[in-house]
Chains A and B, each alone.
Chain A
Amino acid sequence: MDDNLGLFARLRERDINAFEVLYDRYHRLVFGIAHRMLGEPAAAEDLVQSVFLKLWSTPDVFRAGNFGAWISRVTRNQALDILRSKAMRAIDEMPADIPSEGTVDEVVFARIDGARVRDALRALPDDQRIPIELGFFGGITHEQIAEQLNVPLGTIKTRIRSGLRRLREGMQAQVLR
């Protein structure tokens, strides 16, 4: 959102109203990811508290870019840590950002929203969508995905790449339509 930068400037000044606006704007996203990954509403509530408390106590951890994407990743990483504490997780943290170069990306990913992502995911064939959802929300490795779906590892890697590329095209088409 365009005014997020202003909100963050205020948040760094310990403006509680700015914090509240960010919470109102993003708590559904954080709760949704946490709920989808952890499967328990109570655990998801705890995670929402944890993510936003951290944002309040160290607002400098977010510097620039797409805040929605950033807080999604933070939520996913924290959910993965909880899953890891329940069963050994073989996933590393999601990789750090490399800034996008093209203006198309900036436009597309700043305007994307839940409905558009869901539409783009629904448009994927199941054999691409399912490995991507298992990898992102299930917190398991591509090897575990292959095992779970009983599909060769090489096929899973191909499907994940093809699916992500197709999602990218789908999201671009929706936003730039």
Chain B
Amino acid sequence: MSTGPLHSDEMLELVAVYALGALPPDDARAVSEHIVLCDECRAEYRALRPVADVLGYAAEERVDDVRSARMKSGLMRRVQPGAPPRAATERRPPARRAPLWPAYLVAAAAIVIALINIMATVDLRAELASSRDRIAQLEAQNESGLRAEARDREMIADLVATDSKKFAVPGGEVISRDGRLYMTMDKLPVPPAGHVYQAWTLARGAKAVAPSVTFVPNKTGVAVVALPESANDVVAVAVSIEPTGGSQQPTTKPLFVRPLE
């Protein structure tokens, strides 16, 4: 892995802001890609990220018993839908009273109450349906975010792990770990207009390469790419420039072909 250039304090300060989680998305992306390639910045990040991670502890607060019980019972009902509901509060039967209104007024009042109930029920059902949709939407977003975060965590851990296998290629490395396969490239020129970089993999026993992912480097020429193929099945990786959308067979001379064994 490239040691990278020696840095000014400014670069290390950006890494600190990144560790805190206070960089705008574009800057955060650029710093995260840089960290993978630069030992000095990675060391700074390793030193400061755990500090940022535990900052949340400062907000830990005592939750009052009523709130705590309410949150817990709501949660446990949702994770254990089959659990018996809590005992209902005992209700005292209403005392019987002698009727004070004439029968026709009672009947009219009953009709009005029934109409109000129907309208309220319709409103509540609509509100409930809307809330359910919103909850489903938030849960889907949440799930997608957690998956992406888990993938990112896994990728960075793989890239910096000491037990990963690294294969040098011009301007970068192909890295494999536990069957997962990545490429990190630095100083890649911008591909010509209407073109992208495309990775190719050669499966064990295959006679021709198969198309893999397409990618473009960021504005500083860095590309960190996770290949979907299993490293256990791949014996070589290549990269070529192809028309946007990718090709089924390489149409230009590959930048490199790297055997992995």
Complex: how many Å from CA A92 to CA B25?
A: 5
Contact among A90, A114, A165 with B25 in the assembled complex (CB-CB below 8 Å): A90
Number of residues on chain A facing chain B (CB within 8 A)? 83
Complex: how many Å from CA A74 to CA B160?
A: 23
Is the CB of A142 closer than 8 A to any CB of chain B? yes
CB-defined contacts of A165 to chain B, threshold 8 Å? 16, 47-48
CB-defined contacts of A118 to chain B, threshold 8 Å? 57-58
CB-defined contacts of A157 to chain B, threshold 8 Å? 10, 13-14, 16-17
Complex: how many Å from CA A176 to CA B196?
A: 52
Contact among A66, A91, A98, A117 with B55 in the assembled complex (CB-CB below 8 Å): A117
Residue in chain A with minimal CB distance to B148: A93
Is the CB of B193 closer than 8 A to any CB of chain A? no
CB-defined contacts of A3 to chain B, threshold 8 Å? none
Is the CB of A152 closer than 8 A to any CB of chain B? no
With A91-B23, A95-B32, A98-B156 as contacts: A48 and B71 at CB distance below 8 Å: yes
Q: Are A96 and B153 in contact (CB under 8 A)?
A: yes
CB-defined contacts of A142 to chain B, threshold 8 Å? 17, 22-23
Is the CB of B141 closer than 8 A to any CB of chain A? yes
Contact among A114, A132, A135, A168 with B57 in the assembled complex (CB-CB below 8 Å): A114
Q: Are B155 and A96 in contact (CB under 8 A)?
A: yes
Complex: how many Å from CA A24 to CA B71?
A: 11
Shortest distance between the CB of B138 and any CB in chain A (Å): 7
Complex: how many Å from CA A92 to CA B46?
A: 19
CB-defined contacts of B46 to chain A, threshold 8 Å? 98-101, 105
Q: Are A69 and B53 in contact (CB under 8 A)?
A: yes
Complex: how many Å from CA A87 to CA B197?
A: 36
Is the CB of B149 closer than 8 A to any CB of chain A? yes
Complex: how many Å from CA A19 to CA B76?
A: 9
Shortest distance between the CB of B257 and any CB in chain A (Å): 30
Is the CB of B24 closer than 8 A to any CB of chain A? yes
Q: Are A68 and B153 in contact (CB under 8 A)?
A: no
Within 8 A of A (CB), among B48-77: 48-63, 67-68, 70-72, 74-76
Contact among B25, B54, B78, B152 with A69 in the assembled complex (CB-CB below 8 Å): B54
Within 8 A of A (CB), among B9-32: 9-10, 12-25, 28-29, 31-32
Complex: how many Å from CA A124 to CA B20?
A: 16
Residue in chain B with minimal CB distance to A141: B24
CB-defined contacts of A137 to chain B, threshold 8 Å? 55, 59
Q: A54-B142, A78-B145, A95-B19 are in contact. List 15 more A-B contacts (CB 8 A).
A: A28-B62, A31-B63, A32-B60, A81-B145, A91-B25, A96-B32, A100-B50, A105-B46, A109-B54, A117-B54, A135-B20, A135-B22, A157-B10, A160-B22, A167-B51
* 4 cross-chain pairs, A with B, having the tightest CB-CB distances, nearest first: A72-B56, A135-B22, A161-B16, A69-B53
Jot down 21 A-B pairs with beta carbons below 8 A, ordered by A: A28-B61, A29-B56, A29-B60, A48-B71, A52-B75, A58-B143, A72-B57, A74-B146, A95-B28, A95-B32, A95-B49, A96-B156, A97-B49, A109-B53, A114-B60, A132-B20, A134-B22, A135-B22, A161-B13, A167-B55, A171-B51
